[in-house]
C-alpha cells in the first residue's frame, strides 16, 4: 500500500516585517515556513507587514516548501483584515493564534468559505492558552471533518509558560504533560503536530537534544525561529538508517510466501504483527519522501 507523507520536519517562522530574513526564503532547506504577522511583528509595523504578503507570495520559491501565514488573533484589531489578506495569497495554511475553542476555527473557516477561498488553504491552530488545553479534544475532533480545514497544531510554548506561570526548565518537565496531551489529541483528530520553538538559537547541542526528545514524543516536526536550527530538525524527524532497515525487514518478512495471510510472525526472535507492517510501510513512505 502506498502512503503519502508530507514532511513537516522543520517549520521556520519568518517575521513578515524582516526583509533580510525574507530574502533567505529561496535558500532555506526547511519543509515549511510560517510568515508571521503576530508576535514577531511590533504593533507599529503590523499594517506594513500585512501589505507585504502579496509580494512575498508572488515570489514564492519553486521548490516544494509549504508556506503558511500566521495572522493576528481574530479578536485583535488586525485579525479580520489579516485573515482576508492572507486568504488572497492562497497559502498552504493560515495559522490562527490564541485559539480557545472549536468555534474559533469554525469562524475563521466560515470567513474563508464566504470568500470562496479554495479548500486547499488549510487552517493551523496555535495551542497556547489554558482554554485551548482544556478544550483540546473538541478542537482536535474538527480534524475529522475536512470542511473545517483544520490540519495542524502548533504549541505556543512561550505563551503557555507566560499564561500559566510554570517554570520553563531545560528539560521542560512542566510542559511535557501538556505537550503529550496535545500529541494525543492531534492523533485522535488525524492532525499533524509540531513541537514549540527553542529560544536559545545559539545552543546547537541543546536544540539537538530537544529535537530528539520531540521526535520520541511523537511530534511530526519542530517550529523554528532561526535558519541555523533547520538541519537539526530535518535530521531528528527523519527516520534513522536503523529504523529504515528494520522496517524493510518487516516488509520483506510479510511478503514471503510462507507468511502470506499470517497475522503474526516471528522475526529475529521478536513477535511482529500486521500492525507493525502498517507502521513499517508508513516509516518507509516517510523515509522515501525525505530521502533518508
Ligand atoms: N528566517 C530567515 N532568516 C533569518 C531568521 C528567520 N527566522 N532569523 C535570522 N535570519 C537571518 C538574519 O536575517 C541574518 O541574515 P544575514 O546573514 O543576511 O544578515 C542571518 O539569518 C543570521 O541571523 P542572526 O544574526 O544570527 O540573528 P538575528 O540577530 O538577526 O535574529 C532573531 C535573531 C531571533 C531576532 C531572529 O532569528 C528572528 O526574528 N526569528 C524569528 C522570530 C519569530 O518569528 N518569532 C515568532 C514565533 S516564536
Ligand atoms: Mg504565541
Read off the pTM: 0.96
Once rounded to an integer, what is the mean pLDDT over residues 147-171?
98
**Domain check: are 74 and 204 in the same one?**
yes
**β-pair type (10-15, 221-224):** parallel
Report phi then psi at 41, rounded to 5: -115, 125
**Domain check: are 277 and 225 in the same one?**
no
Residue closest via CA to ligand 1's atom 33 equals 226
**8 Å CB contact between 223 and 157:** no
152 CA from centroid of ligand 1 (Å): 24
In a domain, 204, yes or no: yes
Once rounded to an integer, what is the mean pLDDT over residues 276-292?
94
- Indicate the number of domains in the chain: 2
122 CA from centroid of ligand 1 (Å): 26
Grid coordinates given for 145: 471533518
Ligand 1 closest atom vs CA 36 = 44
Once rounded to an integer, what is the mean pLDDT over residues 116-126?
98
Maximum alpha-carbon separation in the chain: 70
**Domain check: are 129 and 225 in the same one?**
yes
Structural domain boundaries enclosing 184: 10-236
| pLDDT attached to residue 149 | 98
**Domain check: are 21 and 145 in the same one?**
yes
**Domain check: are 162 and 276 in the same one?**
no
Residue closest via CA to ligand 1's atom 14 equals 21
> pLDDT band at residue 253, thresholds of 50, 70 and 90?
very high
**Domain check: are 164 and 74 in the same one?**
yes
What would the pLDDT profile of 54-72 be if each residue is shown by its tens digit? Answer: 999 998 877 789 999 999 9
**Domain check: are 150 and 259 in the same one?**
no
Ligand 1 closest atom vs CA 22 = 2
> pLDDT band at residue 245, thresholds of 50, 70 and 90?
very high
| Percent of all residues in the chain with a pLDDT value above 70, rounded to a whole number | 99
In a domain, 261, yes or no: yes
Once rounded to an integer, what is the mean pLDDT over residues 27-50?
97
CATH number of the domain where residue 206 is located: 3.20.20.60
Strands (DSSP E) found in the chain: 10-15, 32-36, 66-70, 93-96, 122-127, 150-155, 192-195, 221-224, 264-267, 270-273
Ligand 1 closest atom vs CA 156 = 48
Lowest mean pLDDT among 54-63, 120-129, 167-176, 250-259: 54-63
**Domain check: are 213 and 245 in the same one?**
no
Which of 21, 127, 156 has most ligand 1 atoms within 8 Å of its beta carbon, as the pocket-test mutant?
Answer: 21
Q: Which residues line ligand 1 at a C-beta cut-off of 6 Å?
A: 12-15, 18, 20-21, 24, 36, 39-40, 197, 225-227
Q: What is the mean pLDDT of the chain?
A: 96
**Domain check: are 257 and 202 in the same one?**
no
Amino acid at each position: 500500500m502506498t502512503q503519502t507523507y508530507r514532511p513537516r520536519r522543520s517549520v521556520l517562522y519568518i517575521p513578515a516585517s524582516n526583509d533580510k530574513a525574507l530574502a533567505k526564503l529561496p535558500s532555506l532547506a526547511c519543509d515549511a515556513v510560517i510568515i508571521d504577522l503576530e508576535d514577531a511583528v511590533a504593533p507599529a509595523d503590523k499594517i506594513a507587514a500585512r501589505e507585504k504578503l502579496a509580494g512575498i507570495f508572488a515570489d514564492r520559491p519553486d521548490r516544494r516548501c509549504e508556506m503558511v501565514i500566521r495572522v493576528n488573533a481574530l479578536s485583535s484589531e488586525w485579525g479580520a483584515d489579516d485573515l482576508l489578506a492572507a486568504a488572497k495569497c492562497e497559502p498552504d495554511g493560515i495559522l490562527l493564534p490564541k485559539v480557545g475553542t472549536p468555534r474559533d476555527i469554525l469562524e475563521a473557516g466560515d470567513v474563508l468559505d464566504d470568500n470562496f477561498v479554495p479548500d486547499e488553504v488549510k487552517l493551523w491552530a496555535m495551542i497556547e492558552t489554558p482554554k485551548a488545553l482544556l478544550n483540546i479534544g473538541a478542537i482536535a475532533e474538527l480534524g475529522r471533518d475536512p470542511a473545517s480545514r483544520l490540519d495542524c497544531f502548533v504549541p505556543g510554548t512561550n505563551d503557555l509558560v507566560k499564561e500559566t506561570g510554570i517554570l520553563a526548565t531545560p528539560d521542560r518537565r512542566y510542559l511535557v504533560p501538556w505537550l503529550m496531551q496535545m500529541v494525543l489529541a492531534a492523533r485522535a483528530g488525524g492532525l499533524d503536530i509540531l513541537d514549540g520553538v527553542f529560544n536559545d538559537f545559539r545552543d546547537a547541542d541543546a536544540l539537538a537534544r530537544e529535537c530528539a526528545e520531540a521526535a520520541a514524543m511523537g511530534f511530526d516536526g519542530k517550529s523554528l525561529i532561526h535558519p541555523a536550527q533547520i538541519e537539526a530538525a530535518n535530521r531528528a524527524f527523519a527516520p534513522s538508517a536503523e529504523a529504515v532497515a528494520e522496517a524493510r525487514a518487516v516488509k520483506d518478512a510479510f511478503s514471503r510466501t510462507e507468511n502470506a495471510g499470517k497475522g503474526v510472525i516471528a522475526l529475529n526472535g521478536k513477535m511482529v504483527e500486521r500492525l507493525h507492517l502498517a507502521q513499517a510501510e508508513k516509516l518507509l513512505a516517510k523515509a522515501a519522501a525525505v530521502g533518508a
